[in-house]
Amino acid sequence: MPTSHHPPTSATSMDPEELGFDPDALRAKYRAERDRRIRPDGKKQYRRIAGDLDSYAQDPYVEPEFTREPLHDRVEVLVIGGGFGGLLAGARLRQAGVRDIRMIEQGGDFGGTWYWNRYPGVQCDIESYVYLPLLEEIGYVPRWRYAPGEEIRQHARAIGRHFDLYRDVCFQTQVTELRWDDTELEWAVHTDRDDRIRARHVVISSGTLSRAKLPGIPGIETFKGHTFHTSRWDYDYTGGDAGGGLHRLADKRVALIGTGATAIQVVPHLGRDAERLYVFQRTPSSVDVRGNRPTDPGWAASLAPGWQRRRRDNFLTIVTGGQADEDLVNDGWTSTARLQQKLIPSDSYADLPPQERERLYEIADFQKMNGIRDRVDSTVGDTATAEALKPWYRYMCKRPTFSDTYLDTFNRPNVTLVDTADHGGVERITENAVVVGGVEYEVDCVIFATGFEVGVSGVTSGFLPVHGRGGVTLTEAWRDGPKTLHGFYSHGFPNLFQLGPLQNASSVNYVHILDEQAIHVAEVLAEARRRRARYVEPTVEAEAAWRATIREKAADLYDFQAECTPGYYNNEGMPRERSESFGDGPIAFHELLRRWRADGGMDDVLVV
């Protein structure tokens, strides 16, 4: 397999000599690696954290014995979720003049994913100047280009303070049922702390990666050493903090299972501090240059009003394949997107037949991934380890990762990479060992960096029963697929707003998407107040029309995803026939929402 590569001399060349690599050979290699990884049980290979495994989900950051009196009250808006989605909803509602807001959050504070994920090395993988929301409103510029998790968590708390959202929040509380009362025109809300709350409107932002999952490895329960999931890091056991210094591991043999975006950040710390580290890998991540650096105070001082919106919009434009005059962020995310654009200049884009466009994208992709693989070769000394660390799939088959220390960690004498791909993953766990290919790796501690159930909002999975008009549940109403207008609201479920990617937009900078959603919901709610609307509800016709639009525009990702190595991006190797996100992308979607609001769209959802 040739690995040297140069830009093609002609945009249409497929000649291996000219390209410096053989596209057919690479395609075949990708397919072989995918086939090696496919498991017939797909998503069923994972275990939900419940029952015997409940201890993996316990909140290590709060007093377990916390109690409080149940609440019996009535509010204008109830927001479910205290991550960035919920915080943005709260903030945008406050800006729209809504004072009476109650928030309900499972964790002990605001932050969502940044509340739970405090593992060593946790860091934003999107530039923090475009990722952290409401920077200008709060008057804050992150201290690092890619901010550490603790700085992000503190920013979430600052939003809570700035918008006075701490006043009426219930932490350590889960909503257990929502039931629409068609007489009083409000929601009856029950929680696991016996609260009985009446809410005129409910906004749900319960997250898309919020339930940690474990692989269904036989013997997990039998392990007698210490074990936890990365989203519940046990610093009592490891010592240190999110900045590292895990001094209590100095005499410990540690197994880390998984090599996704989380593991890439954790491994350098475990490698440095543990006596012995085994990293159990099934599929290697693509690991690109990070180049983190402290924020230049001169640059921060020079930022003019509106800077964050401009930068965020510019980033979104570039990473979604649009044309921009400049690249303000200019990092691994945007340079990869620009690499594709270089091969397809904007003036000829419209003239290219789709097949030709796809072929050029593929060339750009091969070039990118060759660079990623070359980086492994030039960093990792041991040839077999380097070979195992090379990702053989297209760039966006898995969440790309960035690190300047991960690969180098495998040069340490105390660190061993264990490739589990031929065995479908770790085979077995015993009382004191992790087993792969019949070899027992004895360890004191097993850490699962095995990710989260994806897209499982409490609502779509039925964890949170939502009874709309006539007692019909949302899962019943959506039996044949989701039915919404713009992803936000559904007929039969008045005054209920959902944030999330379903029938809405999506992007790698997901917090940006959430902000646009929060702005939209706040505007609709503010208008409902102004008009004294009885409730907000789309018609059946509007819902059907939106569903037809989603279908018509649905990006056909099937062929791309079917060739990908399995993972949560392609439903563990069983890609869905079509996407449920708006196919023209987030920029067009946000423009559509703005137009809808300006052109009287609200007349159709506000029932006066």
Ligand X SMILES: NC(=O)C1=CN([C@@H]2O[C@H](COP(=O)(O)OP(=O)(O)OC[C@H]3O[C@@H](n4cnc5c(N)ncnc54)[C@H](OP(=O)(O)O)[C@@H]3O)[C@@H](O)[C@H]2O)C=CC1
Residues contributing to the site for ligand X (CB under 6 A): 123-125, 209, 215, 217, 257-263, 280, 282-283, 399, 420, 425-426, 449-452, 567-568
Task: Give every CB contact of residue 291 below 8 A, 6+ residues apart in sequence.
Answer: 145, 331, 404
Evaluate whether 531 touches 608 at the Cβ level (below 8 Å): yes
CB of residue 305 to ligand X, shortest distance in Å: 27
Residue nearer to ligand X on the CB measure, 268 or 451: 451
CB of residue 257 to ligand X, shortest distance in Å: 5
Residue nearer to ligand X on the CB measure, 280 or 493: 280
Give dist(CA 137, CA 164) in Å, integer.
13
Residue nearer to ligand X on the CB measure, 425 or 500: 425
Give dist(CA 188, CA 419) in Å, integer.
51
Residue nearer to ligand X on the CB measure, 248 or 399: 399
Neighbours of 407 (CB within 10 A): 22
Which amino acid does the sequence have at 364?
A: A
Q: Is 552 exposed, middle or buried (0-12, 13-18, 19+ CB in 10 A)?
A: exposed
DSSP collapsed to 3 states, 423-434: HCCCCEECCCEE
CB of residue 508 to ligand X, shortest distance in Å: 8
CB of residue 232 to ligand X, shortest distance in Å: 12
CB of residue 104 to ligand X, shortest distance in Å: 23
Which residue intervals of 531-599 are DSSP H helices?
A: 540-553, 558-562, 585-598
Residue nearer to ligand X on the CB measure, 159 or 212: 212
Structure tokens at 68: 């409080």
CB of residue 597 to ligand X, shortest distance in Å: 30
Q: Which is it for strands 466-467 and 175-181: parallel, antiparallel or unpaired?
A: parallel
3-state helix, strand, coil in the chain (%, to 5): 40, 15, 45
Give dist(CA 211, CA 568) in Å, integer.
14
CB of residue 446 to ligand X, shortest distance in Å: 11
Residue nearer to ligand X on the CB measure, 179 or 311: 311
Evaluate whether 442 touches 431 at the Cβ level (below 8 Å): no
Residue nearer to ligand X on the CB measure, 180 or 568: 568
CB of residue 454 to ligand X, shortest distance in Å: 8
Give dist(CA 154, CA 67) in Å, integer.
25
Greatest extent of the chain over all pairs of C-alpha atoms, in Å: 74
Phi, psi (5° rounding) for residue 123?
A: -155, 150
Residue nearer to ligand X on the CB measure, 71 or 447: 447
CB of residue 140 to ligand X, shortest distance in Å: 18
Residue nearer to ligand X on the CB measure, 219 or 371: 219
Give dist(CA 542, CA 546) in Å, integer.
6
Estimate to the nearest angstrom the gap between the alpha carbon of 41 and the chain centroid. 23
What 8-state DSSP symbol labels residue 446? E
Give dist(CA 475, CA 461) in Å, integer.
8
CB of residue 413 to ligand X, shortest distance in Å: 23
Reported residue count of the chain is: 608
CB of residue 74 to ligand X, shortest distance in Å: 37
Residue nearer to ligand X on the CB measure, 23 or 424: 424
Residue nearer to ligand X on the CB measure, 124 or 249: 124
SS3 assignment, position 180: strand
Task: Give every CB contact of residue 252 below 8 A, 6+ residues apart in sequence.
Answer: 274, 275, 276, 444, 445
